[in-house]
Amino acid sequence: MAELTAQQTAQLDQALTGRYQRLMNEVQEEMERTGNIQYVELMGRDPGDIGDESMADAVADLNLVIVDRQVHEMRDIEAARRRIKAGDYGVCMDCGADIGFDRLMAYPTAKRCLACQQQRERVYAGEARPSL
């Protein structure tokens, strides 16, 4: 494990756990709230038209994108917690250097030290990313 004290590791683990729980609540609320209520409301109008149906589909898709992003972050948190248990937390996956406590506090799921992350962003900056 990186040069983190037991207190720092506990603090970071607590931050990860708290964020995970907030995300879990957000996903549950989003699923309950959207339960396609917007879709049902838009489609339930008489007479329905193709514009209402398109809008309802767009709203449903946007909600899925939001939930997908939250689930992805939850998976990152689970991976970070596994690294804590394995003793690999706070160690850069590229160069093996320690990831500083301040960086981990700002971004507890960090897998790379700041230098390696900046290098990765420069190298992959032009890579196409899906968008809405």
Query: Residue 65 has what pLDDT?
Result: 80
Helical packing angle, 50-86 and 6-34, nearest 10°: 160
The stretches of the chain forming alpha helices (DSSP H) are: 6-34, 37-43, 50-86, 101-106, 114-123
Class of domain 6-123: mainly alpha
Give pLDDT tens digits for 27-39. Answer: 888 877 766 555 4
Give pLDDT tens digits for 62-91. Answer: 667 888 899 999 999 999 999 999 999 999
Q: Domain residues of the chain, as ranges?
A: 6-123
Higher pLDDT, 121 or 61: 121
Its pTM stands at 0.72
To the nearest whole number, what is the mean pLDDT of the chain?
82
Q: Tell me how far CA of residue 95 lies from CA of 112, 113, 117, 119, in angstroms.
A: 8, 8, 11, 11
